[in-house]
Amino acid sequence: MDLYEYQAREIFQQYGIAVPEAETADTAREARHAADRLGGRVVVKAQVKTGGRGKAGGVKLATDPAAAELTARHILGMDIKGHTVRKVMLAQPVDIHAEYYVSYALDRAAGRFLAIASAHGGMDIEEVAATRPEAVTRIPVDPAEGITPTAAAAIATAAGLPPTTAPVLQRLWKILTDEDALLVEVNPLVRTTTGDILALDGKITLDDNARFRQTRWGAGAPTYDDPLEATAAAKGLNYVRLEGEVGVIGNGAGLVMSTLDVVAGCGARPANFLDIGGGASAQVMADGLTVVLADPGVRSVLVNVFGGITACDAVADGIVKALETVRLTKPLVVRLDGNNATRGRAILDARAHPLVEQATTMDGAARRAAVLATDAAAV
């Protein structure tokens, strides 16, 4: 469960991490009153559970309450990467001397957490991480040991952060453990011109498996802001929308995660995570294809299945029957391996759909899906 920025900000305050004064508003009129209470000059920030708000126009400086009202009217209702803005946060502006990035994230493969920090925070942290990986420090954290004052100081020193950020690193770790979080991120963590350390933006992802312990966030079923994620959940699909162009469908979370990595390694971006689990009936495949194809960013689809309990011929039958009810509008690359793979490939060959092609390896399938997505973008 991802929290909104204003919710993360409230948690930061509870744990002694300084944040700018701020209020939220659901309407432009409320935004005007909030700006007046905050001193007039405010930053108006869209509240959506996705990144890239600034570049999408969802973060604006307003010089007075009237400007805050106009800005909020423009931002409310915006679509940012498939998320509709229904609330804005208005915060007092800060005179920034330096911006940093700090986070703790679960490293499932290593069975521990990872501290990630950089002296180059802000909107371009992804570009920094891609082009200058040495500027981003990654330090494994043993959950049994946690973040002691010594460990916090070591992380700050390694990342080139000032010593005054070490207490924040300790408090963020306490948030992670106390709140059952999988990710706690501050970007940017800033040093003001007066030397204060403030969290200007925050992201917290809570572990859905711990919802029964975190009752203030609701113990019921999770809610979804993204309409495609909501549609998938209603169909019983394990789907997470990403920001790429290659739709991915697989059976088993581990296989799907590996597929995402291979697609990225081929120079393309996965558009989603979709695990159809152990079954691949016609209805499951139809539902999966319907959800993936509904994403306007998808330019090709990769189905990667390893036949085990569910044999590949049953998966192929499911795909063929799904194509009778789903209008395939994007090229579909299918890789079948494992139990009855040869028979499954023959079934798809016999169907001979003009937009469906097969590959025998995961790498080959990913490369072909990446090429098809690139070719579609060039048209």
Triad 168, 177, 202: Cα angle to 5°: 50
Residue showing tokens 């490369």: 367
Within 10 Å of residue 314's Cβ, how many Cβ atoms? 20
Distances (CA, A) of 83 to 117, 200, 269: 28, 21, 19
Sequence-ordered strand ranges (E) for 72-180: 79-80, 83-84, 88-91, 96-107, 112-118, 136-141
Residue showing tokens 């009855």: 340
Q: Give CA–CA dist 279/313, Å, rounded.
A: 12
Q: Give CA–CA dist 300/100, Å, rounded.
A: 37
Taking the alpha carbons at both ends of the chain, their separation in whole angstroms is 37
Cα-only R_g, the chain: 23
Query: Residues near 177 by Cβ (< 8 Å), separated by ≥ 6?
Result: 143, 146
Are 228 and 273 in contact by the 8 Å Cβ rule? The answer is no
- Catalytic residues, by residue number, are 101, 185
Q: Give CA–CA dist 261/266, Å, rounded.
A: 9
Distances (CA, A) of 22 to 67, 69, 136, 167, 195: 16, 15, 30, 23, 20
Triad 240, 242, 246: Cα angle to 5°: 105
Q: Give CA–CA dist 92/95, Å, rounded.
A: 10
Q: What is the enclosing helix (H) or strand (E) of 260? A: helix 253-265
Max Cα-Cα span within the chain:
72
Q: Give CA–CA dist 372/370, Å, rounded.
A: 5
